[in-house]
Structure 1
Amino acid sequence: MNICFQTIISYLFLFVAFIIDLGEGQSGCDDQLRCGDHGLAIRFPFRLSSQPEQCGYPGFTLSCIDRKHTLLELPNSMKFFVNKIDYRSQVIQLYDPDNCYARQLRGLNLSSSPFQFKVDSFYNELLDYALFNCSSRDIKNAYTFSCLSGPAYQVYAFNNYSVIRTVLISCTKIYTLRSIPGGIIWNHDKFLQLNWSTPACRGCEAKGKRCLKNNKSEIECGPKINKGALSKSEITGVIMGSFLLLLALFALYRFYTHDKVEKKHQANIEKFLEDYRNFRPTRYSYADIKKITNQFTEKLGEGSYGIVFKGKLSNEIYVAVKILNTSKGNGEEFINEVGIMGRIHHINVVRLVGFCADGFRRALVYEFLPNDSLEKLISSSATKNSILNWDKLQDIALGIAKGIEYLHQGCDQRILHFDIKPHNVLLDQNFNPKISDFGLAKLCSKEQSAVSMTTARGTVGYIAPEVFSRNFGNVSSKADVYSFGILLLEIVGGRKNVDVIVDNSSQVYFPEWIYNLLEEKEDIRIFVEDDGDAKIAKKLAIVGLWCIQWHPADRPSMKDVVQMLEGEGDNLTMPPNPFASAGPVKINANIATKRLHHELEVISELE
C-alpha cells in the first residue's frame, strides 16, 4: 500500500506542475479569438501570428488580414484563405480567391507540412496531372483553365496515364501537378481540404476541453480559459478535486486489471494511428460504421476474423465493412491492414477506403466487389455453365500475377503477402481480380533477400516448404510465388473433379497428377470443353508447376511469371519434377500434408 500511496503522490505533484503551467505559462493565449467576416474561431493547435509561439503548434500559424480574411501559408510560400476549421475532425478548408488552383498548387510539397490532402471519395483520389498549352480548342475529356489561358491558346489538364495514350501535336507541356485531389482539377470541389493527425486534439474537443501544450511540448487537455492566469483559489480547488479523482482512478485500475492486456493492445493501435501521418484512408467512428451498414443489415460473410457487411457511402458507392473479432490476436493484423493497404493503390489490389478504431471496436472498410471470391468461382459445381471462358480465366491469372509483382517491386518497401489463395482474391463487376487480406503480410527492404519469422504463417496447402523448414532455403518473396503456383493449378483443375479417376480408398495429389499428364504428353483436354482452350490450360499448368518448385531458387520471380503468362506459351519448357516420386503415384493428400508439417523443422526468428 505504501508503494501505491507514493505513486498517487507522484501523480499529484505532476498535476500541480501542470496547473501552475496552465495558470502562468498560457499567458497571452486566448481560445476565444476570431477572425474574418464569418468569425472564424482561432484556437490551439492554430495561433495568430500576433500571439506567442507557445499558443500554437509548429506549422499552424495563421494571419488575420484586415480583420476580414484568415490566411494560411503552406510550404514554398503557397498562400490560401481559410474558409472553415473543423477541430473535431481535424480538417481545415481552404480556398483560392482567384479560383486558380492550377497556379497555386504548382510546386506544392506537403512532406514538410503537418497537413495532408483529405481524400474521402473515389472522385477525389490523389493523382498526377500534366498541364499543356494547346493551340487547338477542340480537345475532348480535358479541363480548361481559363485563368491560365489566353486569346490564342488554351491550357488543359490531363491525367498522366491519358497523356501517354494521346498524341497532342498542337500542345506543349507546361508543368506537372503532383499528387493533387481530382476534385480540385475537375472543379467538383470549390474548396481545398487538408487534415492533420498531429497534434491529436480531437479527444479534448469531443470532451469540450481545451487542447494545449505544456512546458515539455506534450499535448494535454485542460479547461477552456480566457486570457489571463488562474487564481490561487481556482488552482487549490482543482488540485484537491484532482487528488480525489486520482484516488478513484486508482481504485478503478485495481478493479479492472483483467482488461490490462487489451488496453495495452488498444494503446499500441492508437499510437500507430497517430504516428502514421501520411495515411490516405478515412478514419470512421463506430457510429459512422453503423450508419454506413444500415445497422449491420446485410451480411456478406463470416469467418474467424469477424463478420463482413455490405455498406453504402452514397447512392453510387458501395463498400464491404469487416467488423474484426477483438477476442482474436493482439491488433497486429489490424495494423498490418491499415499500415500496408493504406499506402498502396493498384488495379489488382483491393482498395482500403477507411477504418474504425473506436475504443475496443475495430473495423476495416473496403471497396465493394460484387462477384465474390475466386474460390467460389472455381469451386462452384455450376462453373461449366459460367459466362467466363478460358480467355477470361487467363486474364484473371495474369491480373493476380501483376498485383503480386506490384507488391514485390512497385512499392518503396517490398510487401510479402504470405496468404495468396483463391479465397483472398476478389472479383469486381467485370471479373477483374483484386488481392485482399493483408493481415499476415510483412514489409522488408527491396535489398533484403530473406526475412525472418517466428512462426509459419499462411493457409495449409498454399504455404511454401521454406516457411516450415530452412532446409529448403530462406523465406523470401518466392514464398508468394509458390502460393500463386498452387492457385494457378486450382484454376486449371477447378472445373473438373479429379477424384473420379481413382478408387474410393485414395486420392490423387493433384499437382503431381497434372505434372505426370504433361510429362507423358497426355491430353490435358480433360479440363476443357473446347479444343482451342487446351493451349491456355496447358500454359497455366506449366507456369504453375514452375512456381511450386520446392527450392525457392528454382522458382521464377513474379516479373518472370507475368512475362510467361503474357506470352503465347509455345516456348515454355517443362520444369524439373518438383515431387519426390517418379511416375504417376496415388497418394492421400491429407496424409501428405500432415506428414510434411510433422517432418519439417520450424524456422526460428533471425532478427
Structure 2
Amino acid sequence: MVSKLHHYSSFLVYLACLIILFEIPPCLSSLDTACNNQFKCGTITGGFPFWGNDRPEGCGHPTLLLNCSGSNTTMEIMNIKYRVLSLNSGTQTLRIAREDYLNGPCPSEVWSYNTTLDDELFDNGSDYRYLSLHYGCTIDGTTNKDAYAALDEINRGLCSVIVVVPILPIVTSQDFTNFSKVEEVLRRGFDVKWKVGNEECKECMRSNGACGYDLSSNQTTCYCKDQSSGSRTCSPSVFSFVVIFTIIAIVFICEMFLRKVRQRENDEHVEEFIKNQDLLVSKRYTYSDVKKMTKAFANKIGQGGYGVVYQGRLEDGRLTSHVNVVNLLGFSYHGKKKRALIYEFMSNGSLDKFIYKGPSDRLEWKTLYEIATGIARGLEYLHRGCSTRILHFDIKPHNILLDENFCPKISDFGLAKLCKRDDSAVSIIGTRGTIGYIATEVFSRNFGNVSHKSDVYSYGMMISEMGGIRKGTDVRISDTTSEAYFPHYIYKRLEVGKELRLDGVIKEEDEEISRKMILLSLW
C-alpha cells in the first residue's frame, strides 16, 4: 500500500512538471540576451556561471571569469592561476591544472600555496588523490635542495615548503623519482564540480528565462522578457498558478500521509525489536516517568552530539555492569521525538575538567595513574569481556566520567560498533572519532585495517594528555627543530635518563608514576 502511494505521488510530481513545461509562455530576456547563449573561450564552450570574452559580467558569478588567450583558457581561484582543460555543463564539471606546474614540479618561484578551492563555489571531489611536492627537506640531518614528490603523503621530515596538489584518481602508483612522470600527472589536472546556482538556473531555464548574476544583490537571478531581474523564474500564466497550487497541495497531503504511515511502521518495528530482546535490554520507562524524574527537565547538565543531558533521580533499583563502564539504567521510547537513555549520575563529571586545569587544580599523579588503569580495564572488558566485542571509536577525556571516588567509567557509545570477538579487522564507513585521538587507519585505510587496536591508539593519546605531554608546560624549545614535536622530545629525555619536568612531579613516587604513564602512552 505504501509503495503504491509513493509511486502515485511521484506521478503527480511528473504531471506538474509537464503542465508547467507546456503552459508557461516563452519569455526570452530582453534585458540581457547575451546571457541566454553559450560562449566560446579558447577551446572551451560554456555558459552560466562563467563569463568572459564577449559575455558580460552580469551573466556569471563575479569570481568565475574565464580569460581567453589564443587556444588557452585560464581562470584564477583563491589567488592561484589554473589552465581550464575542459568544461562539461551537463555534469557541472571542470578539469583544471595549476598553471605554475604545467612545465614540471620545479617552477621558477616555489609558492607555499596549497591547492585550496572556495567551498561556496565548488564541491571538492572526494575521489581524487593528492600529490605532495616537498622542497628543501631535511632528512637524516641533511638538507636536500631538490624537490621531492609523493602520493597521498602529507609530510616527509622537515621541509621548508610543502605544496599539496590534487590529481586524477586513475593514478595508482608512479615512479616519482622520474620527474617527467610527475610533470605528466600535473599536466592532466583534476576535476571539480561547481555548485553556483545549479538549482536556481534549472528553474529559470524551465521557465524559458536566461540565467545570470545580480551584482547588486550578489545572488543568482533570472532574466525574463519585460521583467526586472531578481526573481528565480519567469512569471507563469494564471492557469499555471492554479494547476501548480493544486498539484502541490495534493502532493503535500500524500507526503504527509506517507510520513505518518512510515513512522507508524517504524514504531511497530522498534516495539517488536524491544519485545524480542526483552532479556537483553534495561528497564523501560514511560515519557511521564522521565519527565517526573527530571522535574520537567529542569536541570540541564550537558549537551552531546545526540541530544541534551539532564540530571534526575530514580526511586527504584539499579542494574550492574563493569565497574569501569558507565551504567545504563534504562530507556524511554515514545515515537521519534520522545526518546531517552538513562545512565547513572557521575558526580565528578568528565575527566577533561581535571587535566586541563592549572597546576594547583591538577589531580595527584597517583590518582591519575589509578584513573588510567581503570580506563584500561574498561577497554579490556569491551574488547574481550563481552560475548560481542564492542569498539568505542571515541576514547577521549570528555567521554571518561568520574564518580565521587574518581573511579573512571567509559561513556558515550554513539560511535561504537559491534563485531565478533575473533574478527581481526572491521569495516566502517567514513571516519569516526575526534581529531587528535583518531588512529591513522581510521582516518585513512591506506595505513592498515581498522580493529580494536584503534581504541588502544586513542587511549595512548589520552594518557599522554593526562601526563601533560601535549600541554608542553615548563618546556622551552625551539619551534625550528624536530624537538618541537613533544612525543619526540619526551622520548629523547627518557632515552638518556633525564627528568621529564612535568607538572606536579614533586617527589620520587610521582616521577616513577609519570614515567610509567608516559611510556604507556608512547607504546
TM-score for the superposition, normalised by structure 2: 0.48
Please give the TM-score of this superposition, normalised by the length of structure 1: 0.41
